[in-house]
Structure 1
Amino acid sequence: MIAFHYPPMRGSSGIQRTLTFSQHLPQHGWQPLLLSAQPRAYANSGADQLAEIPAGMVVRRAFALDTSRHLALGGRYPLLLALPDRWVTWLLGAVPAGLGLVRRHRPALIWSTYPIATAHLIGLALHRLTGLPWVADLRDPMTDHDYPAHPLTRRVYRWIERQTIARCSVAVCTTPGAIQTYRARFPDIPAERYALIENGYDEANFAQAGDAAPAGRTGAAANAADYADTSAAPAPTPPPAPLTLVHSGVIYPSERDPRPLFAALAELQRAGHISPQRLRVVLRATGHDDYLRPLLREYGIEQMVSLAPHIAYRAALGEMLGAGGLLVLQAANCNHQIPAKLYEYFRAGRPILALTDAAGDTAAALRKAGIDTVAQLDSREDIMHQLLRFLTLAEAGQAPLASAAAVAASSRAARSAQLGELLDRVALRAQAAGRALPRAGSKEGAP
C-alpha cells in the first residue's frame, strides 16, 4: 500500500481512508505492507494516531522532502523541483524501498492512493519493474480543464492520469461522478476497469470520541448496534442557544469559497434575523486562516464566526457529536467529488447544512440519506433562505438527519470488505494469467 497520507501526518481526511483499510483488510485475508514517507515531509505531524497503526504491520517510511520547506531559497523554488508535486523526492526513496518490500515479502499486488500524484508515479514504477498487478485508488479525478492551475503541472498530471488508467488493473473512485468523468475522458478503457469504493467513517473512532463530546450532547452518538436496525433514524434533539454550526476541515478558497456564506450571514445579521446570541459558526482547521480572517472583518461577522485551530482527530469527532449543526462547503467545480467528512457527519447524527451545487454528487448523497437542508454555495440569496430554514428546524429539533440505513452503509468496515473483495478478484485474474506472486504467509498459489 503506497500512501503519503498516514500517521504521524495530521490534518487530512485522506489519512483515515488508508489507516482504516490497513486496520480492516486482515479480516478479509489481506495483510498490508505500508510504504509511506518519512515524517519530515509532513508540514503537520503528531503522535495522536500512531497507536492506531496495527501492531506488527510492516511500515516502511522512505526518504522524502517537501520542496517548499526543504529545497526553497528565500521561499522560492524552481517548478521542476515540484513536478508533479512538492513531494516528488519521495519517488527517489520509495521505489528502491518498494522493491525491497517486494523481494522480502512477495506481495500479490500493489495499491497506491491519491491525492499526492507522486504516489501513483511510485505505483506505476513498481508495477513496471515487478509485473505485479496494480490497483490505483484515484478517489477523485486528478485533472480538470483548469486544474492544476499551472499548465505544465496540469500536463504532467494528465500524463500520470493516462498512464495510471491505461496500466492499472482497476482504478478505484469514491463517487459515481468521478467514474463517469473517467469513462468520458478515456472511452477506449473498458467499464470493468473502474470500481466504486466511497469514503466513510470508522466506528471505533466514534466510540472513543463520544467521551470528548460536551456534556449533555452525546445522545446523538449511537453505538454501531444502534445502526444495525435500519428501520429508524436517530431522533433529532434541539440544541441549546446559541446554536453552534461547525465546519471541520480545510476551506479551499476556490473549491469551498465561503464568501457567499459570509455575505449571507452579514445580511441576515443586519436585518436582525441572526446574531451571535442565536448562531455561532466555528471553522475548525481551515488551513487558510490568513485568507479568511480579513474576510470576517470585511463582512463584520467576526463576533459570529470564529477560526479554530487543528485538534486531534478524535477530539474533532467529539466536536461533531456535540455540535448543534454541521456545515458542508462544496463548489460546483467539485460536482464529482464528495468531502470525506460528509460520511463522518452522517455518523455524528447532527443536522447538516450543505452549501453545494444541487446537481453534484454531494447533494445526491445528502438526498439519498434523507437530508434536504441544501443551498447553492455561490448564491447569497439561497444561503440566506436555507440558513433561516435550517436554524428554525434545528432549534425545534426537527431538522432531518441521515437515515440509519445511510449511516450503516457508510462505515469503513463495509468499505474495507468491498476493497477485500476487489483485491481478491484482481489477484485471481493475475494468477490465472500467470503474473502474480503469492501473498506473504499464504499457501503457494492461493488468492
Structure 2
Amino acid sequence: MIAFHFPPMRGSSGILRTLKFSRYLPEFDWEPIILTAHPRTYANTSNDQVAEISDRVTVYRAFGFDTSRHLSFMRRYPGLLALPDRWVSWSLGAIPMGLYLIRKYRPDVIWSTYPIATAHLIGLTLSRLTGLPWVADFRDPMTDVDYPPDRLTRQMYQWIEKKSVTYCTKAVLTTPGAVDDYKERFPQTPASRFHLIENGYDEESFAAAEANRIKEQKKNARLVLIHSGIIYPSERDPTQLFEALAVLTQQELISHTSLHVILRATAHDEYLLQLIDQYKIGDIVSLAPPISYREALSEMLAADGLLILQASNCNNQIPAKLYEYLRARRPILALTDPVGNTAAALISVGVDTMAPLDSRNDIMRELLRFLALIKGNEAPIASMENALAGSRRSRTKELSNLLESVAQRAGS
C-alpha cells in the first residue's frame, strides 16, 4: 500500500483512508505492508494517530523531502524539482524500497493512493517492473480543464493519469460522478476497470469520542455551527456566506448573541481573516486551530449544526468529512450545488438543508430556515442505519472484495 498521507503526518483527512483500510484489512485475511514517506517530508506532524496503526501492519518509510521547504532559497525553489509535486524525491527512495519489499514479501497486489501524484508514479513503476497487478486509488479525478492551474504541472498530471488508467488493473474513485467522468474521458478503457469505493467514517473513533464527551448544559441561546477542515479559496470559497452573514446582521436577523460560526483547521486562516475583516463579522465567525481527530469528532457531536462548503467545480466530489457529519447525527447545512454528488448524497438520506455556495441570497434564506429548524428541533438528520453504511469497516470489506478479484484474476 503506497501512501504519502500516513501518521505521523498531520493536517489531511486523506490520512484516514489508508490508515483505516490498513487497520481493518487483516479482518478480511489481507496483510497490509505500508510504503510511505519519511516524516521529514511532512510540514506538520503529530503522534495523535500513530497508536491507531494496527500491530498487524508493517510500515516502511522511504527517503524523501519537500522541495519547497528543503530546496528553497528566499522562498523560491526550482519548479522542475517539484513535478509532479513537491514530494517527487520520495520516488527516489520508494521505488528501490518497493522492489526490496516485493522480493521479501511477494505480495499479491500493489495499491497506491492519490492525491499525491508521486504515489501513482511509484505504483506505476513498481507494477511495470514486476508485473504485479495494481489498484490505483484515485479518490478524486487527478485533472480537469484548468486543474492543476499550472500548465506544466497539469501536463505532468495528465501523463501520470493516462498511464495509470492504461496500466492499472482497477481504478478506484470515491463518487459516482467521478466514475462517470473517467469512463467518459477514457472511452477506450473498459468500463469495468473503474470501481467505486466511497470515503467513510470510523466507528471506533466515534465510540471513543462519544464516551469521552462531556455533555454541558447550554448556557444561552447562541447556536454553534462548525466547519471542520480545510477551506480551499477556490473549491470552498466562503465569500458569499460571509456576505450573507453581514447582510443578515445588518438586518438584525442574526447577531453575535444568537449565532457563532467556528471554522476549525482551515489551513488558509490568513485569507479568511481578510474576508472576515472585510465583512465585519468577526463577532460571529471565528477561526480555530487544528485539534486531534477524536477531539474534532467530539466537537462535531456537541455542535448545534455542521457546515459543508463545496463549489460547483467539485460536483463530482464529496468531502470526506460528510460521512463523519452524517455519523455525528447533527443538523447539516450544505452550501453546495444542488445537482452535485454532495447534494445527491445528502438528499438520499433525507437531508435537504442546502443552498448554492455562490448565491448570497439563497444562503440567506436557507440559513434562516436552518436556524429555525434547529431551534424547533425539526432539522433533518440522517438515520443511524444510513450513517452506519458509510463506516470505514464497511468500505474496507468492499476493498477486500476488490483485491480478491484482482488477485484471482492475476493468478488465473
- Give TM-score, length-normalised by structure 2: 0.99
Give the partner amino acid of 1:275.
S
Helix, strand or coil for the counterpart of 1:354? strand
Q: Match of 2:104, as an amino acid? A: R
For this pair of structures, how many residues does the alignment match? 412
Is 1:423 aligned with 2:408? no
Report SS of the residue matched to 1:5.
Answer: coil
Q: Give aligned-pair identity as a percent.
A: 61
1:321 corresponds, among 298, 301, 308, to 301
Aligned 1:16-55 pairs, distance under 5 A = 16-55=16-55
Residue in structure 1 matched with residue 311 of structure 2 by the alignment = 331
Unaligned stretches of 5+ residues in structure 2? none
What pairs up with 1:169-318 in 2 under 5 angstroms?
A: 169-216=169-216, 241-318=221-298
Q: Aligned AA for 2:176? A: P
Q: Cα distance, 1:15 vs. partner?
A: 0.6
Q: Would you say the 8 A contact 2:26–2:56 is kept in 1?
A: no
CA shift digits 1:279-321 (9 cap, x unpaired): 1000000000011111101101001000000001110011000
In structure 1, what residue type is equivalent to 2:221?
Answer: A
By how many angstroms is 1:117 displaced?
Answer: 0.3
Residues of 2 paired with 1:382 and 1:213: CA distance? 35
CA distance in 2, matches of 1:177, 1:275: 39
Q: Which amino acid aligns with 1:38?
A: H
Q: Contact between 2:23 and 2:57, CA under 8 Å: does it hold in 1?
A: no
Structure 1, 239-248 or 353-362: larger mean CA deviation: 239-248
Matched, 1:89 2:69: no
The answer as to whether partners of 1:212 and 1:319 remain within 8 angstroms in 2 is no
Distance 1:260 1:96 in 2: 49
Q: CA deviation at 1:396?
A: 1.2
* Matched AA of 2:329: G
- How far is 1:406 from its partner? 1.7
Structure-2 residue corresponding to 1:225: none
Question: How many Å apart are 1:56 and its aligned residue?
Answer: 4.1
What does residue 148 of structure 1 align with? Answer: 148
Give secondary structure in 2 for the equivalent of 1:346.
helix
Whether 1:366 and 2:352 are equivalent positions in the alignment is: no
Query: What displacement does 1:214 show?
Result: 4.3
Between the aligned partners of 1:249 and 1:188, the Cα distance in structure 2 is 37
Output the amino acid matched with 1:138: F
Deviation at 1:245, TM superposition (A): 0.2
Instruction: State whether residues 203 and 411 of structure 1, in contact with CA within 8 Å, keep that contact through their aligned partners in structure 2.
Output: yes
Alpha-carbon distance between aligned partners in 1 of 2:353 and 2:345, rounded to the nearest angstrom: 12
Q: In structure 2, what is the Cα distance between the partners aligned to 1:406 and 1:358?
A: 20
In the other structure, the counterpart of 1:224 is none
- Quote the offset at 1:29 in angstroms: 1.2
- What SS does structure 2 have at the residue aligned with 1:108? coil
Separation of aligned partners in 1, 2:69 and 2:201: 32
Q: Which amino acid aligns with 2:270?
A: D
The alignment status of 1:353 with 2:333, answered yes or no, reads yes
User: Match for residue 379 of structure 2?
Assistant: 399
- Conserved in 2, the CA contact under 8 Å of 1:241 and 1:278? yes
Deviations 1:16-49 (A, max 9, x none): 1110100110111110000000011111111111
Higher relative contact order (CA 8 A, sep 6+): 1
Taking the aligned partners of 1:249 and 1:322, their CA distance within structure 2 comes to: 16
Q: Distance in 2 between matches of 1:403 and 1:155?
A: 44
Aligned residue for 2:324, secondary structure, equals helix
Shift of 1:212: 4.5
Maintained 8 Å contact 1:239/1:397: no
Aligned residues: CA RMSD: 1.1
Deviations 1:396-445 (A, max 9, x none): 1110001223202111110000000000000000001xxxxxxxxxxxxx
Contact 1:197 1:419 in 2 (8 A): yes
> Normalization by structure 1: what TM-score?
0.91
Aligned residues of 1:239 and 1:324 also touching (Cα < 8 A): no
Q: Measure, in 1, the Cα distance between the counterparts of 2:211 and 2:305.
A: 19
